[in-house]
Amino acid sequence: MERLAAGTVVCAEGYLFELERRGYLQAGSFVPEVVLEHPEQVTALHEQFVHAGSDVVEAFTYYAHREKLRLIGKEDLLEPMNRQALALARDVAVEHGALLAGNVCNTNIYDPADPVTHAQVRAMFDEQVSWAAEAGVDFVIAETLRYLGEAEIALDVIRRAGLPAVVTLVVDRSADMRDGPPLVDAARRLAGAGADVVGLNCSRGPATMLPLLEPLVAAVDVPVAALPVPYRTTPEQPTFQSLTDDRLPDGAAFPTALDPFTSNRYEIGEFASAAADVGVSYLGLCCGAAPHHLRAMAEALGRTPPASRYSADMSKHVYLGDDPALASHNRAYRAHL
């Protein structure tokens, strides 16, 4: 909260998709077994995101919950996976003076009409938050929550653990929560129940998340978060799950054929500036984010992270540059490239 009071906080997410692209995580189940099988890859990505400008190292416990591990028959890995993820994140956060965040997420079992699932969800959040608290996290992120009821359970568990809570919701084609309330009403309820930050993450890209942000900022008296997916969603296809490509057999680009829809770094910078202009103070990116996206976001906010040493400078490019020392015959050839 001190850092938010002093300015914008940048939080890198997107570990799931980035590690899948690198060949260390399976699309479909999306269980972060990489935490145990290749911890050095998780540490490297933490380092790269901080290098690019993230103020937060978020433990990669997204989908490291009991239901996901039950589905793949590996519930025995639940505690080791969570504790390892927290330890990896803590080491990088301490080294770089970054904030350390725990994480809980959508359980995929919550049913508004079934109180039994509410108890099961609470138990799942309880165990993950307790491990995060033992690891000494600065706050816990409850993310990718489509049901207000599930978000309220997550918030209550985090607050009972005595930790600050960042709660980010998902709206898909509709701007309402899956259990009915409009987004702004859901955000008000969470802020009123003690959430330190409320906002949106995942599903929508910059173009379709941005219009939701100004009303959200106006609706609550706590900082607002915005972490879109870096994909070119449109009003007709407002989520990355809804993006279609007629070159694919079934037309569905999600989740493994989204490459042609990826936002470039300049679009991410424009989003960061626009979101900050309407009052969003906790910014980041979700599934699909890569370090160069985070660097563009940080630079758009006026920062110079370590990775800015390598930001593009085309002045000395053999064909596209304008440095007088370049060979003139190559500079003249650019139109033929």
* For residue 255, cis peptide bond before it (omega within 30 degrees of 0): yes
CATH code at position 141: 3.20.20.330
What is the structure's pLDDT at 163? 98
SS (H, E, C) 299-330: HHCCCCCHHHHHCCCHHHCCCCCCCCCCCHHH
- Find out whether 169 and 216 touch, Cβ atoms under 8 Å: no
Shared-domain flag, residues 62 and 30: yes
The pLDDT of residue 114: 98
pLDDT mean values, one per 10 residues, the chain (337 residues): 95 98 97 98 98 98 98 97 98 98 98 98 98 98 98 98 98 96 98 98 98 98 98 98 97 98 98 98 98 98 98 96 96 96
Which residues lie below 8 Å from residue 304, measured CB to CB, with a gap of 6+? Answer: none
Do residue 289 and residue 330 come from a single domain?
A: no
**Burial environment of residue 133 by CB neighbours within 10 A (0 to 12, 13 to 18, 19 or more):** middle
End-to-end CA distance of the chain: 51
**Do both 218 and 324 map to the same domain?**
no
Q: Which domain holds residue 44?
A: 2-304
What confidence tens digit (pLDDT) does each residue in 204-216 have?
Answer: 999 999 999 999 9
Answer whether 270's CB lies under 8 Å from 300's CB.
yes
Q: Are 176 and 151 in contact (CB under 8 A)?
A: no
Nearest Cα to Cα of residue 68 among 119, 124, 116:
124
Q: For the chain, how many structural domains are there in total?
A: 2
* Together in a domain, 337 and 205: no
Pair 335, 208 in one domain: no
Distance separating alpha carbons of residues 87 and 81, to the nearest angstrom: 10
**Strand 56-58 with 99-105, pairing:** parallel
pLDDT at 14: 97
Task: Please provide the DSSP assignment of 189-255 as one string.
Answer: HHHHTT-SEEEEESSB-HHHHHHHHHHHHHH-SS-EEEE--SB---SSS-BTTS-B-TTSSS-B-TT
Same domain, 169 and 123: yes
Give yes or no: residues 165 and 284 share one domain: yes
pLDDT in tens, 250-300: 999 999 999 999 999 999 999 999 999 999 999 999 999 999 999 999 999
Q: What is the pLDDT of residue 71?
A: 96
pLDDT for res 131? 98
Buried b (16+ CB within 10 A) or exposed e, 30-67: bbbbbbeebeebbbebbbbbbbbbbbbbbbbbbbbbbb
Same domain, 182 and 320: no
DSSP string, 87-156: HHHHHHHHHHT-EEEEEEE--S---TT-HHHHHHHHHHHHHHHHHHHHTT-SEEEEEEE--HHHHHHHHH
Whole-number pLDDT of residue 89: 98
**pLDDT at site 72:** 97
Closest Cα partner for 185 from 155, 215, 226, 144? Answer: 215
239 plus 323 within the same structural domain: no
123 and 91 together in one domain? yes
- Global confidence as pTM: 0.96
Q: Are residues 65 and 194 in the same domain?
A: yes
Question: Within this chain, do residues 111 and 201 fall inside the same structural domain, yes or no?
Answer: yes
